[in-house]
Amino acid sequence: MKLLRDMLDKQVVDREQVKIGKLDGLVAELRPGKPPRIIAIEVGSVTLARRLGRLPGQWMARLAAKLGGERHARPHRIPWSKVRDIGVDIEFDIDARETAIFDWQDWLRDHVIGRIPGA
């Protein structure tokens, strides 16, 4: 499978070229008798931690849930059908602001960075 080599860890951007993360994981559907099919990609620290091992994955999920609420306990998924272009970056036809991926950056902006003069 060349897909794994070529796609994994590439930069992911939304339709306005905003960087939303790296392609941290791929979700495939196993089909009997046919090659597996990619149905979604995953982005975020939970997926990354899972790549290191089962335990780090569980720790990260617990940590993410504690910090950001239950919906951060599972990785952020973007359906593969939304993919628009694969070049230097992989572009998805979504708007990053509508996902929960940037929740922590938004929190940082609203509570820390934005409060410092000149930001």
Kindly list the residues in this chain that would bind another protein in the complex (CB under 8 A). Answer: 6, 8-12, 18-22, 24, 43, 48, 51-52, 88, 104-106, 108-109, 112-114, 116, 118-119
| Nearest-approach distance from CB 87 to another protein, in angstroms | 9
Nearer to another protein, 12 or 64 (CB): 12
Rounded to whole angstroms, the Cα distance separating 60 from 3 reads 27
| Nearest-approach distance from CB 35 to another protein, in angstroms | 22
Cα–Cα nearest to 21, from 93, 107, 89, 110: 89
